[in-house]
Amino acid sequence: MSKLNKAKFMEPTQNKTELSYLTRSLLHHPSPYIIYELDGSIAWANMAARYIFDLKELSELSIGKIDDDIKNNFGDINSIALYYDTPIEVTLRDISFFMRTRVHMIPVTDENGIMLIELLCKSRDGLDALKETIECIENNRVELAYQKQYDLVTGKITGVEALLRLKDGKGGHFPNDKVIPLIEGEKLFSLIVLESLNQIKKFFDVKDELGLSDTTVYLNVSAHTIMHQEFCKIFSKFVEENDIKENEFGLEITETAELEDTQKAGESLERLKKRGIKIALDDFGAGYASLKYIRDLPIDVVKLDRHFTSNICDPSTSRLIKFVSDVCAELNLEMIGEGIETEQEKNMMIDLGCETGQGFLMHMPSFIEDIKKESHDG
C-alpha cells in the first residue's frame, strides 16, 4: 500500500469523548470507514478510506442524501446499534459514483448519534481494486468494448453486450482476467454504473450509424444493483432522457448469489420492464443461477454460461443444453449461447435449439471506433 498523503484529519466535531475509542480502534482497520454526521458533513475517515479516495482534505469527499428512514432510526443509548446495507452516492472532488456500504447507526446520547459508514470490501486485493477503479473513474480511464450477438442461422446481428475495460494509464488496458474478476468478486459493479451509462450514451448516439438500429444493447449489472430502487430510478431515467425505444436497452444480471429475496428482485425487474428495459439472466448454469430464477423472475433472455459451450461435445453437457433450450422455448424466452469459438460449437448449438449466440468466432469485443470501421468496410 502506498504512503498516505500527510493531511490533518480531525476527530469528529461532535461527541469527541464518546467517539475517541471508536476512531482509535478503526483508524488502522483494513476496511474503509467514514463517520457521517447528521448535518451532512464527513467528520472523520480512517486510513483505508483515505487510501482509496487519495484524500488530502475531508472536504474533497461528500455523501449524497441518505434515506430519512435510515437517518431517523438510531434507537436509544441502551440499544444494540442498527445497520443497513445500502448503496450511497459519493462525490469525490469532481466525480460522483455509487458505493456499496453498510451504515451503522450508533447512538451516542439519547438524543444524538452518528452514522459509521463502512465501505464494503472483502480483502486487501479488493481494497486495491477499489482504489484503482475509483482512479479510473476520476481520470476518464473507464471504457466499454462491445461484442455483437448473432442469429446463428441467418447471421443477423440481434444484440450487443457492453464489456467493461479499464485503462492502465500507460497506453493499454488492465488484463480482463485480473481486474474484472476482482470487480465481480468484490461486488464493485455499482461503483461504475454511472460512468458505464455515460459510455453507453455515446454508443446510442452512433448506434444507427453503425447499422445496429434494431438491436438491444446490454449492460452487465450485479444482482445487488437491481435490488435497490435508487439504481432502478437511474436506469429508468436513462432510457427516458435519451428517448431509447422499448427493448433497445437491456440489463444482464450477474452475481445471482445475491438474489436472496426473489420477490423483491422480481418487483424491481417488473418496474424496469415497464420502462421498456430488457432483462437477461447472465451466466446461466454457473454458480447460483438456476431454473428457480427462470421460474420466479420476469426475465426475457437466458444467457448460457460459456462453460457449456466449451464442453458441448460432452454428451451430458449437450443434453443439459437441449433441456435448457426446451425450457426456454416453452416459456417463450430467448436463449443466447456465450463463448462460441468454433464452427463445430456454433452448429451444435443450432442443433440443440440455441439459435442466438456470441463469441470470438463471430465477433471480437471492439471499441466504438473499431465498429465504425467494421460497418464502413462492411
CA distances for 345 relative to 105, 149, 296, angstroms: 54, 15, 30
Q: What is the pLDDT of residue 2?
A: 40
Q: What is the pLDDT of residue 76?
A: 61
Name the CA dihedral angle for 166, 168, 173, 179, rounded to a multiple of 10 degrees.
-60
Calculate ∠ Cα 362-180-60, nearest 5°: 130
Amino acid, single-letter form, for residue 282: D
* CA 124 – CA 101 distance, rounded (Å): 17
CA distances for 156 relative to 64, 150, 152, 160, angstroms: 44, 6, 8, 12
* CA 328 – CA 200 distance, rounded (Å): 29
Q: What is the pLDDT of residue 8?
A: 37
Q: What is the pLDDT of residue 75?
A: 62
- Closest C-alpha to 190, from 160, 147, 146, 234: 234
Helix (H) or strand (E) holding 357: strand 356-357
Q: What is the pLDDT of residue 193?
A: 87
* CA 47 – CA 27 distance, rounded (Å): 6
Q: What is the pLDDT of residue 358?
A: 97
- The residue extents of the domains of the chain are 16-120, 126-377
Reported as a single tens digit per residue, the pLDDT across 250-306 is 999 976 656 777 888 899 999 999 999 999 999 888 765 578 888 889 999 999 999
Reported as a single tens digit per residue, the pLDDT across 42-72 is 889 999 999 999 999 999 999 887 776 676 6
Amino acid, single-letter form, for residue 210: L
Question: What's this model's pTM, rounded to 2 decimal places?
Answer: 0.86
Q: Spell out, as residue ranges, where the chain has pLDDT lower than 50.
A: 1-11, 13
Buried b (16+ CB within 10 A) or exposed e, 270-299: ebbbebbbbbbbbbbbeeebeeebbeebeb
Q: Which CATH superfamily is domain 126-377 in?
A: EAL domain (3.20.20.450)
- Closest C-alpha to 13, from 114, 158, 150, 103: 114
* CA 186 – CA 184 distance, rounded (Å): 6
CATH of domain 16-120: 3.30.450.20
Q: Do domains 16-120 and 126-377 have the same CATH topology?
A: no
Contact 356, 152 (CB under 8 A): yes
Residues 6+ apart with CB under 8 A from 231: 87, 98, 190, 193, 221, 225
Three-state secondary-structure class, residue 265:
helix
Q: What is the pLDDT of residue 16?
A: 55
